[in-house]
Amino acid sequence: MATPSFDLIDIIRTIQKQKRFVIAITAIAMALGGLFLLVKKKKYRAEARFLVNNPHYGDRSTLFRSMETRYVDFFGGDDELDKVTALANSDTVHDRVIRNCQFQVVYNQDINDPKGHASLMSIFNKGFNVKRSEYKDIEVSYTAYDPQTAANVANMSVQVLEETYRSYYTFMKKNMYNSINQKVTQLDSAIIALTDTLADMRDKTGIYSIVSPARQNVITGDIKGGGKGFGKAIEEIQNVESIKDQLVSDRAHYISNLNEFATSENESMDFLKLITRALPPTAPFGPSVLMVLVVAGSLGLFFSVIYVLIMAYFRKLNEVVR
């Protein structure tokens, strides 16, 4: 049995014969696309852009350059951008954003209930997006049914990101500050005790001269006195005084370090710089009306033509079999 021919001429003739059907299907597809736009609830997308500052620029070793002068770039590199991107996709940041933006009120869910909290997190993850550009800035966006909500969430995401990113660098500094501060408190107690001891020893022996070898810039005068036990008293006073002087010197050094750490962890230092604040969008997010109609009409035209050609080809096959 010979296979029936179905060349380009047959295809064109078939489409011409069924052009009303093709046009009707295309029109119906476009109408359905327009109806879909009318029925579909509009969504709005707000975007915020920011730059990542170099956290090492505000470090203690950079602020108080005592040994070497080394250039530190203002802007963060790829490592810093990777860290911020990882934080932006973390549940820690997402949870703080949904709580700060009152998602339980906006979406009418119980945030304290595990299922309600999981539902709010799912809603946030669907609408939230993070994107890096080739200019080393980061864009965060949120899509919601309300334009004001979309803008609020995008801006709050940047704020929470900055606080979380900064806390990772200041947390260790705060621990070091607390550790040094505790040591200063211990030194204060030890210095007070040594001062009382040294004062009693001087009053008993009558030795009021400075005999501490730690005070190298002070010229020791003649020590008056004598008798049995005088030399031992001098040595004992020198031992106590040298220890006290060293503790006082250490305390001054620790207080200097405390001031440096307090400066480097100051909250006035921003680790993220907002360059484009999110505003409530005026136009809905998604394809335009023209694009929807063109796509729907193209799909209707394509499938109607395919359907017409397949049916015509099968009719030819049936004619040959008969």
Give the Å distances, CA to CA, from 313 to 25, 171, 252, 304, 320. Answer: 20, 75, 97, 14, 11
- How confident is residue 140, by pLDDT bands cut at 50, 70 and 90? very high
Strands of the sheet containing 44-52, edge to edge, are 128-132, 137-144, 44-52, 272-276
Distance of CA 273 to the CA centre of its chain: 11
- Give dist(CA 119, CA 14) in Å, integer: 53
- How confident is residue 219, by pLDDT bands cut at 50, 70 and 90? very low
The tens digit of pLDDT for each residue in 244-284 reads 888 888 888 888 888 877 776 666 677 888 899 999 988 87
Residue 223: per-residue pLDDT: 59
Residue 3: per-residue pLDDT: 62
Closest by alpha carbon to 138, among 271, 74, 45, 49? 49
- Give dist(CA 27, CA 139) in Å, integer: 40
Q: Taking the CB of residue 297, how many other CB atoms lie within 10 A of it?
A: 18
Q: Taking the CB of residue 114, how many other CB atoms lie within 10 A of it?
A: 8
DSSP 88-140: HTSHHHHHHHHHHTTHHHHTT--TTSHHHHHHHHHHHHHHEEEEE-TTSEEEE
The tens digit of pLDDT for each residue in 18-74 reads 788 888 888 888 888 888 777 777 889 999 999 988 877 666 666 666 655 566 777
Residue 311: per-residue pLDDT: 82
